[in-house]
Amino acid sequence: MTKPPAHLRLVFMGSPEFSTPSLQALSAHYNVAGVVTQPDRPAGRGQTLTPPPVKAQAQQLRLPIIQPQKLRLPEAMQQLRDWKPDLIVVTAFGQILRQEVLDIPPYGCVNVHASLLPRWRGAAPINAAILNGDQQTGVTIMRMDAGVDSGPLISQRAIAIQPGETALSLSERLAALGADLLVEALPGYLSGELPPQPQDISLATYAPMLKKEDGELDFKLSAMELERRVRAFQPWPGTFTFWQGSPLKVLRACCVFDPEREAGLAPGEHTISHGLPAICTAQGLLVLEELQPAGKKCMEGKIFLQGARNWL
C-alpha cells in the first residue's frame, strides 16, 4: 500500500455519533488540522444545550474546532482556507458543501456514506435500507461533487442486515466499517492507484430526511412493513399509534399471521396475541412487544395489558 504524502493536512467535517469512529481513525494516521461540526443544540427533556458527539471527541483529541451555523459564512470559509487542507473528509456533517468548499483542498472532499451507492443517496440511508427490506447494505467512500451523494466511488464494502436489526444497531456497525474502509482506501486514492469511478445513475434511489410525523403507524400497510418501520425508526423518529386519544410509542414489535384471530377485524382494530397487545393490519397482526404510553416509562407488552383493561 502506497503511503500518503508526509505533509498531508486534513480537515474533518462530521457531527453525530456515526462520525466519531472516522475522526478517531483519521487522527491516528494523519495530521488533522481542524474539525468542523454543527453548533451545540438543545436536547433532552430539559432542553439542555448539548454539543454534537464529534465536538466532544475533537476536544479529547485536542483538535481545533469551529461550529458555524452555515458553512458559507465568511468567517467559516476563512478558517477553512487558513487551515490549508490538502483533503477534506466528511462523515454525516449535516450541511451541503458548496462548490467553493469542494474546490479548497487539492485532493478534493471525500465522504463516508452509509449505503452502497448509488442505492440510497440522501439523508437517511440506514433507515431506508431497513424500511425497504434490503438484505444487505454497506459503506461507500466517495469523492464529493456538487450533487447529493452523486460523486464518483472510491471504495465500497457490504454487510448483511441482521434479523431484528434496528437503525441504531446497524448505524453502529456501519460507523466502524466506514472508519476502517476510510483509512484503508485513502492511501490508494491519494496516490492515484485507486481512481474514483462514476456511479451508475440508472440505479440511483433516494432516502429523504425523516420527519417526526413519519413515525405514525398506518395499519393499512402489512404487519411485515410495519415491523420494519418500527426497527428502521429506532431510535428516531420512533414509531407510534394512538390509544385513548394520546400517542402510544411502539419500541419493539413483531408480525404474526393468525387468520383465525384476524377474521372479522379491520386494519387498526385491537386484539391480543400470545398474551401481548396486537393490532390488525392489512395483512397479519402487529404484536407490540415493548411500548410506552403517554407520560409513562417504557414497558413490556404483557405489563401494559395488565393496566389496559379496555384494550379490546
| 3-state percent breakdown (helix, strand, coil) of the chain, nearest 5 | 30, 30, 40
Burial-class residue 152 by CB neighbours within 10 Å (0-12, 13-18, 19+): middle
Residue ranges in the chain assigned as alpha helix (H): 20-29, 53-60, 74-83, 99-102, 125-131, 167-191, 223-232, 259-262, 301-307
| DSSP states along 222-248 | -HHHHHHHHHHTTTTT-EEEEETTEEE
Structure confidence at residue 45 (pLDDT):
76
Structure confidence at residue 6 (pLDDT):
63
Question: Roughly what angle, to the nearest 10 degrees, separates helices 20-29 and 167-191?
Answer: 30
Residue 139 has a CB neighbour count (10 Å cut-off) of 29
For residue 91, the number of C-alpha atoms closer than 13 Å in the C-beta half-sphere is 32
pTM of the predicted model as reported, rounded to 2 decimal places: 0.94
* Phi/psi of residue 127, nearest 5 degrees: -60, -45
Q: Which three cell numbers stand for residue 40?
A: 451545540
| Listed residue (5, 29, 27, 28) closest to 14, CA to CA | 27
Structure confidence at residue 107 (pLDDT):
97
287 near 301, Cβ under 8 Å? yes
Residue 103 has a CB neighbour count (10 Å cut-off) of 10
| DSSP states along 30-59 | SEEEEEE-PPPEEETTTTEEE--HHHHHHH
| DSSP states along 176-200 | HHHHHHHHHHHHHHHHTSS--B---
232 near 188, Cβ under 8 Å? no
Contact partners, residue 125, CB within 8 Å, separation at least 6: 113, 114, 115, 137, 207
Burial-class residue 299 by CB neighbours within 10 Å (0-12, 13-18, 19+): middle
Please list the rounded mean pLDDT of every run of 10 residues in the chain (312 residues).
68 98 97 97 85 97 97 96 98 93 97 98 97 98 96 98 97 98 97 96 96 97 98 97 96 94 92 96 97 96 93 91
Q: Which three cell numbers stand for residue 5?
A: 504524502
Distance CA 107, CA 92 (A): 19
DSSP assignment letter at 275: T
Q: Which domains does the chain have, with CATH numbers?
A: 9-207 (3.40.50.170), 212-307 (3.10.25.10)
| Listed residue (185, 264, 251) closest to 215, CA to CA | 251
Task: Give the bridge partners for 90, in sequence order.
Answer: 13, 111
